[in-house]
Chain A
Amino acid sequence: MRGSVGVAALVVLGLAVWGGALAPHDPSSTVAAPWLAPGGDHLLGTDAAGRDVWSRTLSGGRGIVLTSVLAAVAAGAAGTLGGLVAGWYGGWPDRLLSGTADLLLGVPLLLVALVLAVVLPAPAAVVAGAVCGGAPLTLRVVRDAVRRARRTGYVEAALGRGERTPVLLVREVLPGLAGVATADLGLRFVVALQLAAALGMLGLGAQPPAPDWGLMLRENLAGAALNPPALVAPAAALTVTALVAAAFARGTAERRTRLREPAP
């Protein structure tokens, strides 16, 4: 059952990234009249500019999903590193890192990404926003886990034997964090996907006529009555991707250790 969530997550991500190869039409070109209803050559009809909605949906996830994966990895890595340092050493490094994390959590990450999108290209703004908003949460989780590990008898004993910190971290602490970190990565991915979708929808991400789920929502929202699938398809694609990632994170967390966003 849980394995199947992992498989589903892989399939969905794979489709999102490489689905463009299955597109029957050029996703960026006008191939027919605007707002055609589904049928015939166009499985989901066409959009405002007469582009094939099915092809655009298949191709529109690549940028957004790859950006989100990158953002999740960056946020997870930054948070894990910070959490290791803060949890292991305690004292002033802990206060500094945790304090910075608290400060960053004080500002909504969408606002951060929006302001950054003025100067950075959208993918960079998504990554930066996801790191600012996500790394602090990862940091808290990892920090607590490391502190618990450090207090266990065997780590204390190993320290007493004079073993070196990096060796201890890699051998004793990190394996215990793997589950937490994997589940956490899923959550970071979901947040990054939400950011990327918002920026795309606001017109700050991919530029027309490039296919992009966020941008498609913007392009097809007001005209949805003319061909509903043009709006529903990218929304469904985004939703399914986010749900699968969230379910994966949840499943991993339940299997290993109880994980959720730290209570505020």
Chain B
Amino acid sequence: MRTAPRRSRWTRALTSVVRACALLAAVSVAVFAVSDLLPSDAVAVRAGAGATAEQLDAMRAAAGLDAPAHERYARWLAGLVTGDAGTSLVNDRPVAVLVGARLPATLTLAGAALLVAVPLTAVLAWAAGAAPPRARSWTAGAVAGLAAVPQPAFVAGLVALFSVAWGVLPPVSLVRAGGSPLDEPTLLVLPSLALAVPIAAYGAGLLGGALADARALPHVRDAELRGVPRWRIATRHVAPFLLAPALRVLAVSAGALVAATAVVETMFGYQGLGELLVSAIATRDVPVVQAVALLASAVVVAGTAAADAAAALTEPVTA
């Protein structure tokens, strides 16, 4: 556990916010640059084989694709700031509308997954870091193993059990036209489990270590020797040391969860932002890829910064 002189706390909190802004700026340049290197652009994909070179050039000019890169970046950034993320190259619809239409579905799914993931992380972290010593090696191994399973394989396992073997839940979860995913909550069960379990195991692996560290602190040992009741040790002596790592783990898990929606939504045919990102990559729809990737990064970066700042403000001092 690091020592933190009191007066530097606010500085550290502020640093994490500044760093988040720098990171976001770097990510925006990277996202723009990468999408800019596409082998064939959306105009070619959209026009198909029938179009002549002149027609393609005209379409490119109309889409503003013929300007130099820095100009397009500046235009894009200015647009983002004013809430205009550009227009899809594939279907001419505003990117903000496309993203807005998908946002509720993904938020619902991510929310449901977090509802499962947070308590599950706590339970698994306890198993990996605080279970009775004899069992701990085994439980920690099991948690690490669960975290190692590739997510698509885990989804496949869920489908094989719940849909194929037992037939209780469908292998696809379509968001109903004009409805909300909550109209049929059973459709959310498999996708949210598919998101929550691997991430909870991963988070628990991280947190379990911190838990073991906190329990090994001298003052905790000391309290144990003095015969302080277990619940009191847990709440007064261990918990404060876990708060900061728990916040960071929560942020990391939430970030991984956002990224994992690409896999889980695609596998279940659930029409959210992750699925939009994947299909936009396939159609080379640069503005959509840029907007979704940047939005996801922003959520992750903001979460991490908030957790860092909060951790900096609350981390206990050990001399």
Contact = CB atoms under 8 A, between A and B. Distances in A.
Contacts of B255: 107-108
B223 interface: no
A247 B23 CA distance: 34
B211 to A, nearest CB: 10
A234 B149 CA distance: 12
Nearest to B36: A119
Interface residues of A, number: 50
B152 A117 contact: no
Interface string A170-212: 0000000000000000000010011001101111100000000
A219 to B, nearest CB: 11
B150 A198 contact: yes
B304 interface: yes
Interface stretch (B49-57, B105-113, B231-239, B259-267): B259-267
A202 B156 contact: no
A118 B35 contact: yes
A218 B35 CA distance: 25
B117 interface: no
A261 interface: yes
B293 A103 contact: no
B113 to A, nearest CB: 14
B278 A107 contact: no
B156 A234 contact: yes
Q: Considering residues B34, B150, B260, B262, which has the most beta carbons from chain A within 10 angstroms of its beta carbon?
A: B150
Contacts, number: 176
Given A108-B259, A238-B152, A118 B144 contact: no
Interface residues of B, number: 66
A17 interface: no
Given A114-B262, A115-B35, A243-B145, A222 B278 contact: no
A1 interface: no
A106 B305 CA distance: 9
A194 B199 CA distance: 13
A164 to B, nearest CB: 33
A102 B22 CA distance: 12
B3 to A, nearest CB: 16
Contacts of B213: 263
Q: Considering residues A119, A200, A234, which has the most beta carbons from chain B within 10 angstroms of its beta carbon?
A: A119
Interface in A95-149: 102-103, 106-111, 114-119
B252 interface: yes
Interface stretch (A51-59, A154-162, A223-231): A223-231
A189 to B, nearest CB: 10
B59 interface: no
A261 B152 CA distance: 23
Contact of B171 (A103, A198, A218, A224): A224
12 contacts: A107-B301, A108-B255, A109-B259, A110-B260, A111-B293, A114-B281, A203-B278, A221-B171, A235-B154, A235-B156, A235-B160, A264-B251
Interface of B: 19-20, 22-23, 26-27, 30-31, 34-35, 37-39, 141, 144-145, 147-157, 159-160, 163-165, 171-172, 205-206, 209-210, 213, 245, 248-249, 251-252, 255-256, 258-260, 262-263, 266-267, 269, 277-278, 281-282, 284, 289, 293, 296-297, 300-301, 304
The 4 tightest CB contacts between A and B, nearest first, are A108-B259, A235-B156, A246-B148, A264-B248
